[in-house]
Amino acid sequence: MTERLYYTDPYLRTFEARVVESLQWDDQPAIVLDRTAFYPTGGGQPHDVGSLNGIPVVNVVEREADGAVVHVLNEPWFDSAHHRLAANEVEGQVDWERRFDLMQQHTGQHILSAAFVERLGANTVGFHLSGDYATIDLDRAPLSVKDLAEVEVLANAVVFENRCVAARFVPDEEVPALPLRKPLAHKGPVRIVKVPGFDCSACGGTHVRATGEVGLIKITRSERRGSETRVEFLCGRRALADYQAKNTLLMDLAREFTVGHWELAGLIHRLDDDLKETRRELRRTRDALLDAEATALWQQAILVGSCHVVQAHLASRAPADLKHLAQRLVSHPQTMVLLAGGGEAGEMVYLTFARSADLDVHAGILLREACQAIGGRGGGRPDFAQGGGPQGDQVAQALHIALQSLTDSINATRETDV
Ligand SMILES: [Zn+2]
């Protein structure tokens, strides 16, 4: 079993040790040392990174069989150019910035979890910590904004008091008398981490020596998950970085809109109301324009038998506009609408055909024929059809084909009627 130096000194950044085993771990080179300051993944806390004789340590795991700490390296131990010391002696260096960050988050979690118990009687049933993300799961839901704020205030009060954080292994006989926040999860030696007068937990992780080093504890989000609540939080440097980013965002927005940052919420509500009103106004104006345009088109309709045919190429109009126009036009009885849009300067050309309910013509079939002329495709129902094609220069031809088919069809019907 590897001697774990971080148990007694979590502030140890460099250490010397001996290699006791060289192995492959998941196809990567790895070594076991007689002693290490590297924390292996466990108890919700991620592993350390760093280097051994300059070789990067990319993963640290505890081997279940014998409790050895396995240091996974990103290059082979024996072939290494960094292999400066004697074959089995190493100098280890822990990436302190990452470790201290994890110690801040982890100790902050102890304090936050204890504060949830004290204020709300809510127990922590899950803990996740990664390089950029920390959450606890609580056995209570829902939690109000006020609940969360009260817990946050209590947790930070414990930080401001700068209480010491002490960790030690306790003899088995002392365990039953300990005021543990959570029951023990497994057998074996018990290591207790204590914030005097506030929290007592069994934990094998690394912690700061006094609560003041945790820095600010800030809850950033909470999410109900059935009967539980997941709470996202930041401590220390992470909380500062988050404050800096959010402050910059607010200040930038305030400058852009020339208001105080405290006026932004009101401003956004007003802008949102304005936007909604503008959209309504735009819709009314567009409707009025389409009405007027439909009226003008209707006046240019030609008669084929008793059928009014509205045929036009409106190059600047999008398919949605063509649809709106067609719907207005076919409210007139005995009306067939053959509209084209787009098709300028090599763009796609769109066709929209529609008929009034009292006509016995299939708009979808007419459209399918017409689309062939513009090298495209389309179709639809007997009363409404849309399509398009790439050959914009053939749009007149496409409309001509449609008109011709329509005329043939109407004439055939009339002859049958006669
Ligand atoms: Zn802990």
Q: What is the pLDDT of residues 167-208, one digit of tens each?
A: 999 988 888 888 888 888 777 789 999 999 999 999 999 999
Residue 418 pLDDT level (bands cut at 50, 70, 90): low
Query: Is pLDDT above 90 for 281?
Result: yes
Average pLDDT over residues 237-249: 98
Sequence-ordered list of residues with C-beta below 8 angstroms from that of 342, at least 6 positions apart, any chain: 315, 317, 318, 319, 348, 349, 350, 388, 392
CA 393 to chain CA centroid, nearest Å: 46
Q: How much is the pLDDT for 387?
A: 94
Q: Give 136 Cα–ligand 1 centroid separation in angstroms.
A: 13
Average pLDDT over residues 252-275: 96
Q: Give 168 Cα–ligand 1 centroid separation in angstroms.
A: 12
Q: Give 260 Cα–ligand 1 centroid separation in angstroms.
A: 42
Q: Which residues pair with 355 in a beta bridge?
A: 336
Tell me what percent of the residues of the chain surpass a pLDDT of 70: 97
Q: Determine contact, residues 12/27, Cβ cutoff 8 Å.
A: no
pLDDT tens for residues 326-385? 999 999 999 999 999 998 877 899 999 999 999 999 999 999 999 999 999 888 999 999
Q: Give 77 Cα–ligand 1 centroid separation in angstroms.
A: 32
Q: Give 167 Cα–ligand 1 centroid separation in angstroms.
A: 9
Peptide bond just before 142 cis, omega within 30 deg:
yes
Residue 49 pLDDT level (bands cut at 50, 70, 90): very high
Nearest to 316 by CA among 342, 346, 291: 342
Q: Give 22 Cα–ligand 1 centroid separation in angstroms.
A: 30
Q: Give 20 Cα–ligand 1 centroid separation in angstroms.
A: 28
DSSP class of residue 357 equals T
Tell me what percent of the residues of the chain surpass a pLDDT of 90: 83
Sequence-ordered list of residues with C-beta below 8 angstroms from that of 201, at least 6 positions apart, any chain: 110, 113, 180, 181, 182, 192, 193, 194
Q: Determine contact, residues 36/4, Cβ cutoff 8 Å.
A: yes
Q: Give 37 Cα–ligand 1 centroid separation in angstroms.
A: 16
Average pLDDT over residues 209-226: 98
Separation between Cα atoms, residue 49 and residue 197, nearest integer Å: 34
Q: How much is the pLDDT for 79?
A: 54
Q: How much is the pLDDT for 87?
A: 62
Separation between Cα atoms, residue 127 and residue 110, nearest integer Å: 10
Q: Determine contact, residues 163/196, Cβ cutoff 8 Å.
A: yes
Q: How much is the pLDDT for 85?
A: 43
Q: Determine contact, residues 23/70, Cβ cutoff 8 Å.
A: yes
Query: Is pLDDT above 80 for 129?
Result: yes
Does pTM surpass 0.85?
Answer: no
Q: Give 138 Cα–ligand 1 centroid separation in angstroms.
A: 17
Q: Give 105 Cα–ligand 1 centroid separation in angstroms.
A: 10
Separation between Cα atoms, residue 142 and residue 134, nearest integer Å: 20
Q: Give 28 Cα–ligand 1 centroid separation in angstroms.
A: 29
Query: Is pLDDT above 70 for 84?
Result: no
Q: How much is the pLDDT for 213?
A: 98
Q: Give 116 Cα–ligand 1 centroid separation in angstroms.
A: 16
C-alpha distances (whole Å) from 23 to each of 29, 59, 379 are 6, 14, 68
Q: Give 60 Cα–ligand 1 centroid separation in angstroms.
A: 18
Q: Give 166 Cα–ligand 1 centroid separation in angstroms.
A: 11
Q: Give 179 Cα–ligand 1 centroid separation in angstroms.
A: 15
**How does the average pLDDT of the chain come out, rounded?**
93
Average pLDDT over residues 143-168: 97
CA 38 to chain CA centroid, nearest Å: 32
Q: Give 204 Cα–ligand 1 centroid separation in angstroms.
A: 6
Separation between Cα atoms, residue 54 and residue 257, nearest integer Å: 51
Q: Determine contact, residues 210/113, Cβ cutoff 8 Å.
A: no
Query: Rounded to a whole number, what is the distance in angstroms from the first to the last CA of the chain?
Result: 105
Average pLDDT over residues 391-396: 90
DSSP class of residue 140 equals -
